[in-house]
């Protein structure tokens, strides 16, 4: 049990690191950041996380790590460029920046390889990486798509769960969504609304995606803004 609790702690730390990378743009490599991408006008992120403490509490003595099935979290990035040409040119660099930040994070052990997902976009790539964290097998699945002047990056992290359907579903849904007309209200703790934030699917519009997941973090990668006070 002690061994498993150590693994749970490491996975919680992993999700915090990956959420920071995905939603705050805090991780930088060799001075690279989203703002260095040519023609980038806006970049925002949303993260949905599972209840790690509930999972830990449900584990009893003698639990086998191979029996644990849990989606730790999913994040989605939306990067809007000045033109479709700029988005197309920045696609490979965007994917590389995220992969490098994950691989270079304090969790270590994640090395990406190609994955096969059915993504409906002008450009698309899927990558996966796994790492053993104190006996708990964590898998990251990344899907990046480019449609017109926008790049979308969806990333899931799980234990013994195939997130390909979830990551594919969110990716292809983002390609079909439009920004709203309402005034934007940004909340770092999740639940931002209006404008570009309306492009994200929600538990209300797509409940099948978010069973057991809660929107716990929204982030602005570029340009930086201050969050609205929590109500």
pLDDT in tens, 11-35: 555 555 555 544 433 333 344 566 6
Q: What span, in angstroms and rounded, lies between the C-alpha atoms of 11 and 31?
A: 27
Q: What span, in angstroms and rounded, lies between the C-alpha atoms of 152 and 144?
A: 6
Burial code of 184-202, b = ≥16 C-beta within 10 A, e = fewer? bebbbebbbbebbbbbbbb
pTM score:
0.84
Residues of the domain holding 144: 2-31+39-61+70-222
Rg of the chain (C-alpha set): 17
Question: What's the number of domains the chain is made of?
Answer: 1
Choose from 19-23, 96-100, 106-110, 169-173 the range with maximum mean pLDDT: 169-173
Residue 141: strand pairing partners: 128, 156
Give kind and range of the element (H or E) at residue 109.
Answer: none
On whether the CB atoms of residues 60 and 68 are closer than 8 A, the answer is no
Running DSSP on this structure, what letter comes out for residue 214?
A: E
Residue 164 lies inside a defined structural domain of this protein: yes
pLDDT in tens, 191-224: 999 999 999 999 999 999 999 999 998 988 888 6
Three-class SS state of 28: coil
36's tokens: 């260095």
């Amino acid at each position: 049990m002690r061994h498993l609790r150590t693994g749970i702690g490491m996975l919680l730390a992993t999700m915090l690191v990956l959420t920071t990378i995905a939603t705050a743009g805090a991780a930088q490599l060799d001075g690279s950041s989203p703002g260095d991408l040519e023609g980038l006008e806006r970049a925002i992120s949303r993260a949905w996380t599972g209840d790690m403490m509930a999972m830990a509490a449900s584990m009893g003595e003698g639990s086998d790590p191979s029996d644990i099935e849990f989606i730790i979290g999913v994040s989605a990035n939306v990067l809007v460029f000045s033109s479709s040409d700029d988005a197309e040119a920045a696609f490979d660099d965007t994917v590389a920046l995220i992969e490098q930040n994950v691989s270079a994070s304090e969790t270590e052990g994640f090395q990406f390889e190609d994955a096969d997902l059915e993504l409906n976009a002008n450009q698309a790539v899927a990558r996966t990486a796994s790492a053993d964290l104190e006996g708990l097998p964590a898998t990251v699945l990344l899907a990046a798509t480019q449609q017109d002047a926008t790049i979308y990056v969806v990333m899931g992290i799980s234990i013994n769960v195939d997130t390909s359907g979830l990551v594919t579903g969110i990716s292809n849904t983002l390609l079909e969504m439009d920004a709203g007309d309402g005034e934007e209200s940004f909340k770092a703790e999740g639940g931002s609304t209006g404008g570009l934030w309306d492009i994200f699917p929600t538990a209300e519009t797509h409940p099948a995606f978010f069973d057991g997941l809660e929107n716990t973090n929204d982030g602005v990668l570029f340009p930086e803004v201050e969050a609205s006070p929590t109500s």
